[in-house]
Structure 1
C-alpha cells in the first residue's frame, strides 16, 4: 500500500508541477504580448510601418533585461524556484533510498546509488539547460543546483539515523521502490517508446542493450556482494 501511495504522490506532484509551469508560461507569454502591443509605433527613431523594427522576442528581451530577482528574470522566477524545489524533493527521496539501501545491505545500497545516478544525471542536465534557456545567471543556476543537491544529503542522514527502527526500514524500502518504479514506468519507458530515429532497428537494439546491461550489472552486484 505504501508503494502504491508513493507512486500516486509522485503522479500528483508531477502533474501539478506541469500544470503550474504551463499556466505560468502562458501567463508570461500573454504579458509579453501585451507589452509589445503597448509599445509606440516608432522604434529606434523610425516609423514601424515604413522602417525596420525589432522582432517581438527582441522587444521582450529589451523590456525585461534588467527586471531580475537574485539573477533570475522576474517573469521566470516562480518557474525557476519550482524547478529547484522539485529537484530538491526528488533528491531527498533518492538520498533516503540510498541511506536505507546501505543500512540494509551493501548490494542494495550500491544498486540504489547506481539507479539514482542513472536517472539523476540526465534530469540534472535537463534542469541546468532549462534554467540556462530561461536567461538565469550562471551563478544563480549553480546556487539553485547546490540547494537541490543538499536534499540528497538530508535524506541520506535522516534515513541512516532512523534505520535502526525495523518498521521505518520496511516503509522506506516501499517508498524507494515506488519512486523507482514510477520513474521507470512513467518517465523512462514512455520516452523510449516515443523516441524517433531514421534507423529504428538500431535504436531498438541499443535500448535493449542498455536495459540488459543494467539488469546484468544489478545481478552481478547481488551475487558478488560479499566480494565488493
Structure 2
C-alpha cells in the first residue's frame, strides 16, 4: 500500500512541478526545491517502513526508486498535455499544497509539542515565513 500511495503522490507531484516549470522557470525552480525538501525525508521514511515490514534493503531501495520514477512520468505526461491543454491551474494547486503541508504538519506540531525548545519553534516560524515570502517574491 505504501508503494502505491507513494507512486500516486510522486506522479501528481511530477505533474504539478512540470506544470509550474512550463508556466514560469523561476517559479518552477522554487516549487521543485520546496518539493525536494518534502520528498527526501518522506522517501527515507518510506524506505524505513519497507525495511521494518520485512523487506530486504535491496528490494526496498529498488521498489522505492521505481515508485519515485512515477514523478518523471507525471512530468512527461504534463509536458505532452501542455500542448493541447492549459496547465496554468497547476500553479495555485501547487501553492495550495505547499501551504497545506506547512499548515497541517508544521504549525500543529509546534503548538502541541511542549518538548520543542524556543530555538526550534523560532526556526520553524522562520522556515514557514521564508517559504511564503519566497513564493511571493517569485510571483510572475
Count of residue pairs brought into register by the alignment = 140
Bigger shift: residues 95-104 or 185-194: 185-194
CA 1:138–1:178 in 2, change beyond 3 Å: closer, same or farther? Answer: same
Q: Distance in 2 between matches of 1:155 and 1:116?
A: 14
Q: Secondary structure at the match of 1:168?
A: coil
CA 1:211–1:138 in 2, change beyond 3 Å: closer, same or farther? Answer: same
Q: Residue 211 of structure 1 corresponds to which residue in structure 2?
A: 128
Q: Distance in 2 between matches of 1:172 and 1:210?
A: 23
> Which stretches in structure 1 are left out of the alignment for 5+ residues?
1-81
Q: Distance in 2 between matches of 1:131 and 1:141?
A: 6
Residue deviations 1:130-154 (CA, integer Å, cap 9, x gap): 2222231001111111121111001
TM-score normalised to the size of structure 1? 0.54
Greater C-alpha Rg: 1
Q: Distance in 1 between matches of 2:116 and 2:70?
A: 40
The question of 1:194 aligning with 2:112 is answered yes
Q: Distance in 1 between matches of 2:57 and 2:123?
A: 34
Shift in Å, 1:163 = 1.4
Q: Distance in 2 between matches of 1:187 and 1:211?
A: 11
Is this contact kept in 1: 2:14–2:70, CA < 8 A? yes
Q: Map 1:180-191; keep pairs closer than 5 Å.
A: 180-191=98-109
Residue deviations 1:138-185 (CA, integer Å, cap 9, x gap): 0111111112111100111011111123x5314434543443343333
CA 1:158–1:192 in 2, change beyond 3 Å: closer, same or farther? Answer: farther
TM-score normalised to the size of structure 2? 0.83
Hey, which bits of structure 1, 4+ residues long, moved more than 4 A? none
Is this contact kept in 1: 2:15–2:77, CA < 8 A? yes
The question of 1:176 aligning with 2:94 is answered yes
Q: Residue 41 of structure 2 corresponds to which residue in structure 1?
A: 122
Q: Map 1:37-52; keep pairs closer than 5 Å.
A: none
Is this contact kept in 1: 2:23–2:88, CA < 8 A? no
Q: Distance in 1 between matches of 2:74 and 2:116?
A: 42
Determine which of 53, 59, 64 is the counterpart of 1:145.
64
Cα RMSD after superposing both structures = 2.4
| Higher relative contact order, structure no. (Cα contacts within 8 Å, ≥ 6 residues apart) | 2
